[in-house]
């Protein structure tokens, strides 16, 4: 099976206008989108951002018939304090092939909001990873821990500053992720748009040394021009860390794909 992007958004997410059908020319035989589920979303005036599941499934079925491709259902779960019961209730009534777990906000601000750039970067870093630590303890029913660096994307931290401030917390977060069979995501938007390649080098090695064995590559695309963006570079980073496989998740199962096979596909 060919590898395919494990983190993609369409207009079923609150922050994307891209139609699912526009990805079809780029996608291979397998395709998935991972739409935002974000309760009490600061970027939506603290309203809940919930994908229209009925329309989502209908569009997938339409495109499957039209294209003959295997199209899977995915969700990016935005975890924030006090929302775990709502999340569990939603997931109990909606099925997905892949579930991403993300930490975007603290109930008052999204960590990509401009206000973050005017705050003490080390305090922001400490606050964010404490939030993530509490959150992943409260909820960890997911396949992939996404963009571990989301809260510091706009801070321009060095690896040294990051490790001093967040290293212990991140190690403990990864222990929970590994215990619950969650993959480490190489988020190419973080790595190349936000220039956090150094943080990924640092974090991959922690995850690996703790015994983590699952890895995904996701573009975090919100438009077709970023679909599978910089995947070859991400593969080279994995190889540099002596990691020789990646994973895909579908229909409740995890599949291992040798990294040499991925190189042939991209």
Q: What CATH number did the domain enclosing 164 receive?
A: 3.20.20.140
What is the count of structural domains for the chain?
1
Whether 45 maps to a domain, the answer reads yes
Helices (H) and strands (E) in the chain, counts: 8, 9
pTM value is: 0.97
> In this predicted structure, what is the pLDDT of residue 83?
95
Whether 71 maps to a domain, the answer reads yes
Instruction: Give the domain extent around 50.
Output: 20-265
Whether 12 maps to a domain, the answer reads no
Give the pLDDT mean for 229-233: 95
Whether 11 maps to a domain, the answer reads no
pLDDT higher than 80, residue 266: no
Whether 212 maps to a domain, the answer reads yes
Give the pLDDT mean for 8-12: 98
What is the C-alpha to C-alpha distance for residues 136 and 182, in angstroms, rounded to an integer?
11
Judged by DSSP in three states, 110 sits in strand
Could you tell me where the beta strands, DSSP code E, fall in the chain?
Answer: 30-41, 47-49, 70-78, 98-102, 144-145, 183-187, 215-218, 245-250, 253-258
The single-letter DSSP state of residue 254 is E
Whether 27 maps to a domain, the answer reads yes
pLDDT band per the 50, 70, 90 thresholds, residue 77: very high
pLDDT band per the 50, 70, 90 thresholds, residue 254: very high
Whether 3 maps to a domain, the answer reads no
- CB contact at 8 A, 188 and 220: yes
Whether 13 maps to a domain, the answer reads no
pLDDT band per the 50, 70, 90 thresholds, residue 261: confident
pLDDT tens for 80-96 read 989 999 999 999 999 99
pLDDT tens for 164-213 read 999 999 999 999 999 999 999 999 999 999 999 999 999 999 999 999 99
């Amino acid at each position: 099976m060919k590898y395919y992007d494990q983190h993609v958004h369409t207009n079923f997410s609150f922050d994307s206008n891209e139609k699912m059908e526009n990805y079809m020319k780029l996608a291979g035989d397998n395709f998935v989108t991972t739409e935002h589920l974000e309760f009490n979303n600061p970027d939506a005036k603290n309203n809940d951002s919930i994908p229209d599941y009925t329309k989502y499934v209908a569009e997938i079925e339409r495109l499957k018939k039209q294209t003959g491709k295997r199209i899977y259902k995915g969700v990016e779960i935005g975890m924030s304090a006090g929302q775990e019961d709502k999340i569990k209730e939603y997931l109990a009534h909606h099925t997905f092939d892949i579930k991403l777990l993300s930490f975007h906000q603290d109930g008052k601000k999204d960590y990509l909001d401009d206000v973050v750039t005017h705050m003490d970067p080390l305090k922001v870093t400490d606050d964010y990873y404490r939030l993530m630590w509490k959150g992943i303890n409260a909820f960890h029913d997911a396949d992939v821990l996404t963009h571990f660096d989301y809260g510091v994307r706009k801070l321009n931290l060095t690896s040294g500053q990051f490790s001093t401030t967040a290293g212990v917390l991140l190690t403990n977060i990864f222990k929970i992720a590994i215990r619950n069979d969650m993959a480490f995501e190489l988020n190419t938007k973080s790595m190349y748009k936000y220039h956090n390649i150094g943080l990924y080098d640092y974090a991959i090695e922690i995850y690996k040394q703790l015994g983590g064995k699952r890895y995904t590559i996701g573009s975090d695309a919100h438009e077709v021009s970023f679909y599978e963006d910089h995947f070859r570079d991400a593969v080279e980073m994995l190889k540099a860390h002596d990691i020789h496989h990646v994973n895909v998740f579908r229909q409740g199962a995890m599949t291992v794909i040798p990294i040499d096979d991925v190189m042939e596909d991209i």
